[in-house]
Amino acid sequence: MRILFAAPEVSDFIQVGGLAAVSAALPRALRDFADVRVIIPGYPAVLRGLQDLTTVGWCQPFAALPAFAIDLGHTADGMTYYVVRCPALYERDGTPYADGRGADWGDNNVRFATFSYAAAQVARGLVDKDWAADLVHANDWQCALIPGYLEWHYAHIPTVFTIHNVAYQGVFDRSSLAPLGIPEASFNIDGVEFYNRLSFIKAGLVYASHLTTVSQTYAREITTAEFGCGLEGLLRQRADRNQLSGILNGIDESWDPRTCPSLFQSFGAGDWTERSLNADDVREQFGLAVSRGPLFALVARLVHQKGVDLVIESAQAIVDAGGQIVVTGKGETRFEEALLQAQVRAPRSIAVKIGFDDAEA
């Protein structure tokens, strides 16, 4: 079995949210059972992080998408990666999705359509003459056109599409159809149309062989109007056909607090004294006052779906009761600013670091 795993971010190189952690761990868990290869855009961090990068093929322009190269490389532990090399689209400062100020790249439709088209071409065996996929696993809206391109080019390769957060949908103006090489005939309620706009995520939901999401609970929730973000009807149809599964995100067993070198003090189950020493070390790192009260930590993308608004609303009550809060993350400007203001009001009880740092997290 040859599996192509498509991801817009992987924590080996670059991380915005939890998808990156899954994209690093799941292919490694599967490689004992299959020939798994990951495909990712050629961000600068990816190009720096891979070994023995070699160009294995080129793709000519398609519709209004640019030409690009496909490189093959490996991580230090032998994980195989295909890299979509298109400097004009991917070699930029900022995150995979936004510039340094947090504003979405204005050409994200082209950037991730190109990535999806590249993955489809690799899967079909049209790029690397020595490899083609038996199965494609695509993740979130940035990869959602992969099942579509395979369908539109009559490639009968089964696909799994995983929804990590249905609120992020990749919706663009319908004028993108022709430039992205998407057939006009697919622009309808049973295709990629969403309130007269082009929805990338709908391509995955409609054309993938099977849908998965991050838990059985979330799989049920997204079939309801409260959590389905306008796509609940389509998701209910897939669920009714047994084509939507919830698979709980796993635990990375390589991390063990008894041996982790990043901890100030290792600890095991029930070692409360050692745990408190780590809490004191976190307080010192973040400039908080010495305290015997509880220390709460939030390490997440700072967006509504993560409950950041609940943390902000509860912050003063927690501080008044003797607790402290540490926040590490990056996201919506309104939440970043509100958290920083809370820190200003209680600098010895609330600490906020905008950004991610695995060592501190």
* Predicted confidence (pLDDT) per residue in 116-164, tens digit: 999 999 999 999 999 999 999 999 999 999 999 999 999 999 999 999 9
Instruction: Tell me how crowded residue 243 is: count the other CB atoms within 10 A of its CB.
Output: 15
Q: What is the 3-state secondary structure (H, E, C) of 83-102?
A: EEECHHHHCCCCCCCECCCC
- What is residue 358's predicted lDDT score, i.e. its pLDDT? 52
Q: 213 and 345, same structural domain? A: no
Q: 172 and 89, same structural domain? A: yes
The answer to the question of residue 215 being in a domain is: yes
Q: Range of 121's domain?
A: 2-246
Last residue of a domain, one of 197, 219, 246: 246
Q: 129 and 62, same structural domain? A: yes
How many whole angstroms separate alpha carbon 296 and alpha carbon 283?
A: 11
- What is residue 94's predicted lDDT score, i.e. its pLDDT? 86
How many whole angstroms separate alpha carbon 174 and alpha carbon 194?
A: 9
Q: 94 and 22, same structural domain? A: yes
The answer to the question of residue 255 being in a domain is: no
* Predicted confidence (pLDDT) per residue in 272-295, tens digit: 899 999 999 999 999 999 998 999
- Which CATH number characterizes residue 309's domain? 3.40.50.2000
The answer to the question of residue 48 being in a domain is: yes
Q: 332 and 215, same structural domain? A: no
- What is residue 360's predicted lDDT score, i.e. its pLDDT? 40
Q: Which parts of the chain register pLDDT below 50?
A: 359-361
Q: What is the CA radius of gyration of the chain?
A: 22
Q: 159 and 95, same structural domain? A: yes
The answer to the question of residue 102 being in a domain is: yes
- What is residue 361's predicted lDDT score, i.e. its pLDDT? 38
Q: 156 and 73, same structural domain? A: yes
Mean pLDDT of all residues belonging to the chain: 93
The answer to the question of residue 21 being in a domain is: yes
Strands (E) located in 60-213: 68-74, 80-85, 135-139, 159-163, 171-172, 193-194, 197-199, 210-213
Q: 143 and 17, same structural domain? A: yes
Farthest-apart Cα atoms in the chain, separation: 65
The answer to the question of residue 280 being in a domain is: no
**What DSSP designation does 214 have?**
S
- pTM of the shown model: 0.85
Count the domains in the chain.
Answer: 2
Q: 296 and 168, same structural domain? A: no
* Predicted confidence (pLDDT) per residue in 160-183, tens digit: 999 999 999 999 999 999 999 999
Last residue of a domain, one of 185, 216, 246: 246
The answer to the question of residue 270 being in a domain is: no
Q: 208 and 316, same structural domain? A: no
The answer to the question of residue 49 being in a domain is: yes
